[in-house]
């Protein structure tokens, strides 16, 4: 059926009310290409949002659970994670990007994905949705148009993102918006995408759009999340702001009278969520931040999202009391790929035994099940998720939807290594902090596939999502800081230092590292200058441990944790020199910081006559 036959009545009126020819043109184009049986245009009204919820239940993509507002969605067994191999940036002929960026010729990619989308919605309903990246009616806002044949995708986005229909009206016909075309494709009897071998996720920077087809897992299908992150990184690097893979949180001073806002970027399994959700502090966002300079010369940040698409494995009442309470009480909440028994969800390491049978992503499951290769089938995956609004959390910050954003006092970059980096340090300057962020590494653990202890380089914890050359990305970070009158301090954390196989920190020591960083932003405490940056003084940490954790902090613990390990740090620099040697366009300021830090480390070893230098030596 043609677009003219499907776009009639109220649906057409809703689109015409936007007075945006490009929106109407896009909707008509993909109706003609995807060939849906019906089209429904959804606005910001409660009635329209309720419609998409009911459609997700009615078409079997979601099922109700025992608690009011809770539903379960299952992805197919082969559609359980981001598809990195088939997630590609479409590049025009002759364009160059860093070697780590997964790219495809734009003409070839468009030909392929449009071919897969041709007729992909036959017999299904096309939902036309409008969302906003960032707070509504804000200079940070990026209106976003989503076309999808999955009510689950639309429902997820209504939780994760702010409503955008009125944002499109405010555009007054402007073409400055993102748009996303998604089709789950042909479905099997469980309403899961059937043709996973034809799963494609293509990012078209030329048109600020994303195509995604033959998938339902939200990391691949919810275009406004990590896919829009790529578009926004490209946009930010063409303009004068930053788009980062960062949380935003309010750190509350020990006396309870001050809140200092931080952003933080951590690779997977390095402590990002556990830092953002620390007790006694408040959260604005856990994943993606837009950062811009305001008239007062400071950095302000907003959370792109209003919700969390979080990994549920290991969420338990002891380690994550706020999230666990939220997941076990009535509210609007979508579980995905957990085990369901009599309407109750179960997940890995939730603090109670896993049942021996139930309904899982593979269908009916029991403890003795094996796959075709004889391997035990797990009841749930380590990537099982929950989708909720941040406002449902008890520790949600009251400034979360402030259209002006919140002023940022500090950036935190978190890495993971067992033998090199101190638990927390402050960079020597903004430029040195950019260098610190670009040097972030993550060490593999026993839980990861492959060899234990292998370090992966992940600059600014954003490597998977960069669509611009690394040299340009670093250059723009440096230039951003130069435009500031009040630069945030930049810190680095490492919660995973070990000695003889045992962690030198407890899980909750990060509470003290955060409080020390908060104090440093306001110059309430001094610090010791070392070759890698400023580290805490023992007496300041002793006070913070006693006040925040009622814990005695010994000189021995301090010395073990904050000693400067010269050889290990020089080994890291050597690794980085090899990596950065392959990158074109690195700013001279950046490479000079690498050389200067190497010289400082070698000088310290010569001056002190030691390879491991106690922090007390720097007093």
At 529, is the pLDDT very low, low, confident or very high (cuts 50, 70, 90)? very high
Query: Whole-number mean pLDDT of the chain?
Result: 94
The CA-based dihedral angle spanning residues 50, 52, 57, 58, taken in that order and rounded to the nearest 10 degrees: 100
pLDDT band of residue 446 (cuts 50, 70, 90) is very low
pLDDT band at 204, cuts 50/70/90?
very high
Q: Which of 153, 147, 109, 120 is nearest to 15 (CA)?
A: 147
User: In which band, very low, low, confident or very high, does the pLDDT at 449 lie, cut at 50, 70 and 90?
Assistant: very low
Active site residues: 270
For the residues 390-406, what does the mean pLDDT come to? 96
Look at residue 93 in the predicted model and tell me its pLDDT.
87
pLDDT value of residue 95: 82
Q: Which residue has the higher pLDDT, 426 or 189?
A: 426
How many residues are present in the chain?
Answer: 619
Burial class of residue 254, CB neighbours in 10 A (0-12, 13-18, 19+)? middle
In whole angstroms, what is the distance from residue 499 CA to residue 19 CA? 64
Backbone angles phi, psi at 523, to 5 degrees: 55, 35
Least confident of 149-158, 159-168, 269-278: 269-278
- Quick one: average pLDDT of 346-368? 94
Query: DSSP per residue over 168-194, as a string?
Result: HHHTTT----EEEEEE--SB-TTS-BS
Per-residue pLDDT, 2: 66
Domain 244-305+400-618 coded CATH 3.90.228.20: yes
More confident residue, 32 or 582: 32
Phi, psi of 172 (to 5 degrees): 50, 45
Quote the Cα angle for 551-554-558, to 5°: 110
**pLDDT tens, 544-579?**
999 999 999 999 999 999 999 999 999 999 999 999
pLDDT at 281: 96
Please determine, for residue 454, whether its predicted confidence score (pLDDT) is greater than 90: no
For position 447, what pLDDT does the model report?
A: 43
Residue 555 CA to residue 541 CA, distance in Å, equals 10
pLDDT tens-digit series, residues 39-88: 999 999 999 999 999 999 999 999 999 999 999 999 998 999 889 899 99
Cβ burial of 394 (10 Å; 0-12, 13-18, 19+) is exposed
Query: Rounded CA gap, 41 and 53, in Å?
Result: 14
pLDDT tens digit sequence for 273-282: 889 999 899 9
pLDDT for 445 equals 59
Mean pLDDT of 157-181: 97
Whether residue 451 is predicted with pLDDT greater than 80 in this model: the reply is no
What is the DSSP pairing of strand 406-415 with strand 489-494?
parallel
**Percent with pLDDT over 70 in the chain:** 98
Q: How many CA atoms lie within 13 A of 281 on its CB side?
A: 27
Six-digit token string for 427: 């960079």
Residues 133, 290: Cα–Cα separation, whole Å: 9
pLDDT-above-90 percentage for the chain: 87
For residues 303 and 289, give the distance between their C-alpha atoms in angstroms, rounded to a whole number.
Answer: 5
Mean pLDDT of 24-38: 97
Task: Evaluate if residue 144 carries a pLDDT over 90.
Answer: yes
pTM: 0.94
Per-residue model confidence as pLDDT tens digits over 486-499: 999 999 999 999 99
CB-count exposure of residue 146 (10 Å: 0-12, 13-18, 19+): buried
* Domain assignments of the chain as residue spans, ordered by start: 3-61+82-239, 244-305+400-618, 309-392
Residue 399 has pLDDT above 90, yes or no: yes
Residue 478's pLDDT band, with cuts at 50, 70 and 90, is very high
Banded model confidence at residue 101, pLDDT cuts 50, 70, 90: confident
- Terminal-to-terminal C-alpha distance of the chain: 78
Give the Cα separation of 455 and 345 in Å (integer).
35
Give the Cα separation of 241 and 480 in Å (integer).
7
Tokens (6 digits) for 308: 């969390």
> For position 100, what pLDDT does the model report?
82
Name the architecture of domain 3-61+82-239.
3-Layer(aba) Sandwich (3.40)
Residue with the two structure tokens 């040097």: 439
- The mean pLDDT of 117-131, rounded to a whole number, is 97
- Predicted confidence at residue 184, as pLDDT, reads 97
Q: With bands split at pLDDT 50, 70 and 90, how would you rate the model's confidence at 448? A: very low
**302 has pLDDT over 60:** yes
3-state DSSP call for residue 566? helix
Calculate the dihedral angle through the C-alpha atoms of 345, 346, 350, 353, rounding to the nearest 10 degrees: 130
CA distance 78 to 381: 12
């Amino acid at each position: 059926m043609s677009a003219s036959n499907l776009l009639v009545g109220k649906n057409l009126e809703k689109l015409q009310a936007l007075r945006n020819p490009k929106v109407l043109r896009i909707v008509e184009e993909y109706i003609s290409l995807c060939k849906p049986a019906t089209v429904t245009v959804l606005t910001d009204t409660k009635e329209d949002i309720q419609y998409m919820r009911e459609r997700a239940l009615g078409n079997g993509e979601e099922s109700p659970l025992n608690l009011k507002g809770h539903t379960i969605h299952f992805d197919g067994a082969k559609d359980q994670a981001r598809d990195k191999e088939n997630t590609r940036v479409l590049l025009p002929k002759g364009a160059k990007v860093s070697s780590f960026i997964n790219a495809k010729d734009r003409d070839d990619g468009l030909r392929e994905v449009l071919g897969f989308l041709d007729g992909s919605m036959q017999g299904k309903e096309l939902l036309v949705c409008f969302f906003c990246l960032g707070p509504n009616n804000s200079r940070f806002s990026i209106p976003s148009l989503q076309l999808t044949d999955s009510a689950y995708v639309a429902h997820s986005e209504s939780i994760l993102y702010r409503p955008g229909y009125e944002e499109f009206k405010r555009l007054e016909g402007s073409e400055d918006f993102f748009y996303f075309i998604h089709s789950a494709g042909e479905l099997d009897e469980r309403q899961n995408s059937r043709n996973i071998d034809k799963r494609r996720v293509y990012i078209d920077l030329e048109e600020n759009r994303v195509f995604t087809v033959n998938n339902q897992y939200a990391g691949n299908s919810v275009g406004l999340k990590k896919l829009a992150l790529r578009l926004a990184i490209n946009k930010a690097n063409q303009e004068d702001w930053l788009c980062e893979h960062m949380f935003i949180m309010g750190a509350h001073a020990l006396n309870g009278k001050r809140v200092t806002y931080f952003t933080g970027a951590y690779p997977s399994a390095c402590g990002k969520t556990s830092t953002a959700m620390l007790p006694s502090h408040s959260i604005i966002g856990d994943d993606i931040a837009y950062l811009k300079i305001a008239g007062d010369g400071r950095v302000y940040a907003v959370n792109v999202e209003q919700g969390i698409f979080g990994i549920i494995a290991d969420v338990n009442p002891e380690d994550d009391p706020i999230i666990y309470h939220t997941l076990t009480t009535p509210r609007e909440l979508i579980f995905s790929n957990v085990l369901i028994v009599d309407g109750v969800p179960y997940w890995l390491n939730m603090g109670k035994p896993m049942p021996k049978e139930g309904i899982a992503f593979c269908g009916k499951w029991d403890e003795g099940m094996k796959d075709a290769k004889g391997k035990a089938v797990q009841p749930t995956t380590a990537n099982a998720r929950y989708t909720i609004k941040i406002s449902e959390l008890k520790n949600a910050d009251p400034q979360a939807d402030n259209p002006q954003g919140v002023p940022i006092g500090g950036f935190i970059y978190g890495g993971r290594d067992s033998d090199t980096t101190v638990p927390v340090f402050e960079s020597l300057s903004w430029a040195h902090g950019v260098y610190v962020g670009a040097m972030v590494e993550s060490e593999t653990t026993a839980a990861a596939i492959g060899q234990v202890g292998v370090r992966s380089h992940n600059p600014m914890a954003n490597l998977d999502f960069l669509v611009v050359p690394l040299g340009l990305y670093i250059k723009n970070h440096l230039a951003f800081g130069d435009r500031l009158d009040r630069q945030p301090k930049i810190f680095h954390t490492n919660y995973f230092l070990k000695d003889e196989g045992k962690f030198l920190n407890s899980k909750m020591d990060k509470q003290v590292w955060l409080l020390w960083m908060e104090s440093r932003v306001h110059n309430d405490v001094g610090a010791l200058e070392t070759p890698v940056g400023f580290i805490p003084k023992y007496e300041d940490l002793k006070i913070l441990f006693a006040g925040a954790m009622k814990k005695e902090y010994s000189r021995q613990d301090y010395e073990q944790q904050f000693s400067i390990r010269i050889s290990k740090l020089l080994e890291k620099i050597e690794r980085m020199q090899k990596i950065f040697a392959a990158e074109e366009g690195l700013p001279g300021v950046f490479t000079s910081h690498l050389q200067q830090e190497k010289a400082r480390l070698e000088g310290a070893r010569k001056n002190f006559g030691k390879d491991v230098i106690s922090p007390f030596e720097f007093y």
